[in-house]
């Protein structure tokens, strides 16, 4: 797939810079694949759009992972913790200015151990992460309440970014749904743009996941399953291919992918030239997704992490 097929023009003012004043006050674009119908709803009306689907969410919690540090010579440095590699304080992280950093250097609580390429480092952190919430680079306004970049069901800390489709949910709405939880810790690929000309040449970094046996038994036998977010979908389709209940997934969902377990998808609107947009095209259809994005732009939906949502039935 030519990466140019994932391009679209988005007015800058549609990139949401902050969450809505109240959690759950987002809009919801509904696309019915069977009929081709498009409906415009409020997110709080999600339950009325479902037909008994088992709703599966990703309960990962975002780590306060952006650390502002000083180099030994006095210059500034920044480390973004991406994934915990062990119980001895070893992490993988992005560090900059990477070309000025050396193995063995100490940046406050961080000891640099080994460069891994592309600005990535294996490092050791003294204590637990105590930095800032790592907001995406297209958000330029500070976040007043760090909990607004966590889902209300976030439990297992380990992500470098939020599973943003879940940010819309309130406890009240969840109480009206049949919900199960899986865990996938969102990692480096959230911060990487596809640079190859052909999408299939892009390499995904693995991400850690875990699913309880009883939870997977319910999911595997449910008549219909709604995946909340692309991360949840990747976990479920990984397990549907016989993977163990805990491990790493490098599943790359592209147009032509055979979906074996997910029947409906709830997702935000994604960046152009991203693997997440390719996943949505795989689920809804390439031309259909382009049409839906044109509709969303025309209707002034809000895009990306703090933006509105789309339900694909």
Is the distance from CB of 62 to CB of 150 less than 8 angstroms?
Answer: yes
For the chain, the average pLDDT equals 94
Q: Is the Cα dihedral 169, 187, 97, 114 positive or negative?
A: positive
According to the model, what pLDDT value does residue 86 have? Answer: 81
Compute the distance between CA of residue 286 and CA of residue 191 in angstroms, rounded to an integer. 23
Confidence band (pLDDT; 50, 70, 90) for 7?
very high
Class of domain 3-62+134-312: alpha beta
Q: What does the pLDDT read at residue 190? A: 59
Domain with CATH 3.40.1780.10 in the chain: 3-62+134-312
Rounded percentage of the chain residues whose pLDDT exceeds 90: 87
Pairing of strands 38-42, 27-31: antiparallel
pLDDT grade for 60, boundaries at 50, 70 and 90: very high
207-262 tens-digit pLDDT:
999 999 999 999 999 999 999 999 999 999 999 999 999 999 999 999 999 999 99
CA-to-CA dists, residue 244 to 9, 49, 134, 160, angstroms: 40, 32, 30, 23
Mean pLDDT within 282-307: 98
Distance CA 105, CA 123 (A): 10
Is 2.60.40.10 the CATH classification of the domain at 66-125? no
Which range, of 98-107, 193-202, 266-275, averages the lowest pLDDT? 193-202
How confident is the model over 145-154, as a mean pLDDT?
97
Say how far apart CA 39 and CA 228 lie, in whole Å: 19
Task: Give the pLDDT confidence of 158-199 residue by residue, as tens digits.
Answer: 999 999 999 999 999 999 999 999 999 998 765 566 778 888
Provide the whole-model pTM: 0.94
Give kind and range of the element (H or E) at residue 145: none
pLDDT at 14 over 70: yes
Cα–Cα distance between 5 and 190 in angstroms, integer?
A: 20
């Amino acid at each position: 797939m030519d990466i140019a097929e994932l391009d679209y023009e988005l007015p800058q003012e549609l990139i949401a810079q902050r969450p809505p004043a109240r959690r759950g006050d987002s809009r919801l674009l509904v696309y019915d694949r069977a009929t081709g119908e498009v409906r415009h709803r409020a997110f709080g009306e999600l339950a009325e759009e479902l037909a008994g689907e088992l709703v599966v969410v990703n309960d990962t919690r975002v780590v306060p992972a952006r650390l502002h540090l000083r180099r030994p010579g006095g210059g500034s440095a920044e480390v973004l913790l991406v994934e915990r590699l062990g119980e001895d304080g070893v992490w993988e992280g992005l560090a900059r200015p990477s070309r000025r950093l050396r193995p063995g250097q100490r940046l406050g609580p961080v000891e640099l151990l080994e460069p891994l390429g592309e600005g990535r480092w294996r490092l050791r952190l003294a204590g637990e992460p105590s930095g800032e919430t790592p907001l995406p680079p297209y958000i330029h306004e500070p976040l007043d309440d760090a909990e607004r970049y966590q889902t209300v069901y976030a439990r297992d800390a380990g992500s470098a970014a939020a599973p943003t489709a879940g940010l819309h949910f309130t406890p009240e709405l969840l109480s009206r749904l049949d919900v199960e939880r899986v865990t996938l810790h969102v990692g480096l690929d959230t911060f990487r743009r596809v640079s190859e000309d052909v999408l299939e040449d892009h390499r995904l970094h693995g991400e850690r996941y875990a699913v309880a046996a009883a939870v997977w038994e319910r999911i595997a036998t449910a008549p219909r399953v709604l995946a909340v977010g692309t991360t949840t979908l990747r976990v479920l389709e990984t397990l549907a291919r016989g993977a163990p209940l805990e491990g790493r997934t490098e599943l790359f969902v592209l147009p032509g992918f055979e979906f074996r377990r997910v029947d409906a998808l709830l997702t935000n609107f994604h960046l152009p030239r991203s693997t997440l947009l390719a996943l949505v095209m795989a689920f809804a259809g390439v031309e259909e997704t382009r049409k839906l994005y044109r509709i969303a732009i025309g209707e002034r939906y809000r895009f990306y992490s703090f933006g509105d949502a789309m339900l694909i039935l």
